[in-house]
Amino acid sequence: MALLTITAFVIFASLLYFWVKHKYAHWEKKGIKSPPVVPFIGHFGRIITFKESIDGFTKRIYEDFPNEPAVGTYRCLTPAVVLRDPELIKQVMIKDFPVFEDRGIRALDDPINDNLFVAEGETWRILRQKLTPIFTSGKLRNMMPLIDKCVGEYLEYVDGLVARGVEHEVRDLSSKYTLEVIGSCAFGVDMDVFNEKENIFRDVGNRIFSPSLLSRFAQFADFLIPGTLNFLHKTKLYNINERTQTFFLNLVNKIVGEREGRPKSRKDFMDLMIELKEQKFVEKREHDKVAKLEMSPELMAAQAVVFYAAGFETSSATMSFLIHELAFHQDIQQRLHDEICAVTEKHGGKLTYDALSEMTYLEMCFDETLRKYPIVGTLIRKALVDYQFPGTKLKIDKGTVVFLPVGGLQSDSQYFENPDVFDPERFSPENKGKIPQCVYMPFGEGPRHCIGMYS
């Protein structure tokens, strides 16, 4: 019996060894270089143990293989590829976008994932078309009085801190300001962030961007065994999104109850969502095909989540990094201050949409901040079919996840001289056009770029 057990174990171990070896020969067979792997973990060990972010990982791969257009990697046992060559990236983001239109991050069949950021296929196309009107220049112009009110409250709060000699952290201040703006412009809600009390909206943001250990473990399990999150959700053992989804569903239902059937006076995000809800179904026509999507409370809540999360974190982080750089570069700070004063004086001392549009140096400073500190340091796409990159030996299978290392590209001296130096002149009107396409991508690129990119 003991001999039989040992023999069975040896056979099982041998089969497992050759199976794993076969799995990790994927890129070698395709002639694509790949770093050494750890069995079952692949190249995601540091990510799994929270020692490295996905952005740090792709930037490291980018820098470790300077002469390779693409580098093969493994998410545990699953092949994925990091593209380094801007021309290959252009194929993914623009030229062959229909092949790579999905992000490949929708791990859970849950209503909250039917949002503009995560949604796939027809759902994404319909949402994109219907939500784009929020960011027209006219809509943003109408929101300026709301933003100006938030600015006034922010300045009053900061003045109070300075008068009392209270030390304050810039990131926290920026977060409070952006949260107040989103609450006002998107939901018509007073977030009441300029006080020292606990704030439920800040708590929700912390849950989204600082997930619990249990959430991280569930995500790791899904990396190792795809479908784990769905299994946990369907069996009601664990729902990673439950608290966030419930909060935003209640918020949306409350706002809809207060506004539905009344004139759409604010013209904000929720007014648009209510207009779509009143149509019951939203549709997208393309040639002779019509795709429909029911605008349910759950779908509205899903959009609310992504608008809250994307607007809150990205804006506050960018503001914080810009303020940090201005503190170290007094000459840049002075030039920016002079421009703001001159333009606002020209517009009667008011901060208007037109005034902001004329602040060229301010835009240059923001562009350089986003280059040096990209909020989304890695873009992700998924191949919907087997795909051969034109003019190369690189062929990827259907379902392969493609990582685009924004952080690596934007800190590469090949494209940006002295990349560690904060230099807004890179983005002057005469220099900006010299940057190769798909090298600077803080808002993404192609049809699926950030919906607020041109706002």
Binding positions for heme: 450
Q: How many Å apart are CA 81 and CA 402, to the nearest integer? A: 5
Among candidates 3, 35, 75, which has minimal Cα distance to 399? 75
Angle 229-233-234 (CA atoms, 0-180°, nearest 5)?
120
Helix, strand, coil percent content, the chain, rounded in steps of 5: 55, 10, 35
CA distance 318 to 337: 18
Which residues belong to the annotated binding site? 450
Can you say how many angstroms the Cα of residue 295 is from the centroid of all Cα atoms in its chain?
23
Contact between 79 and 42 (Cβ < 8 Å): no
Cα–Cα distance measured from residue 326 to residue 84, given in angstroms and rounded to the nearest whole number: 31
Q: What Cα–Cα distance (Å) separates residue 255 from each residue in 269, 270, 304? A: 11, 8, 12
Q: What 3-state DSSP class applies to 282?
A: strand
Q: Cα separation of 240 and 223, whole Å?
A: 15
**Rounded to an integer, what distance in angstroms lies between the CA atom of residue 181 and that of residue 422?**
28
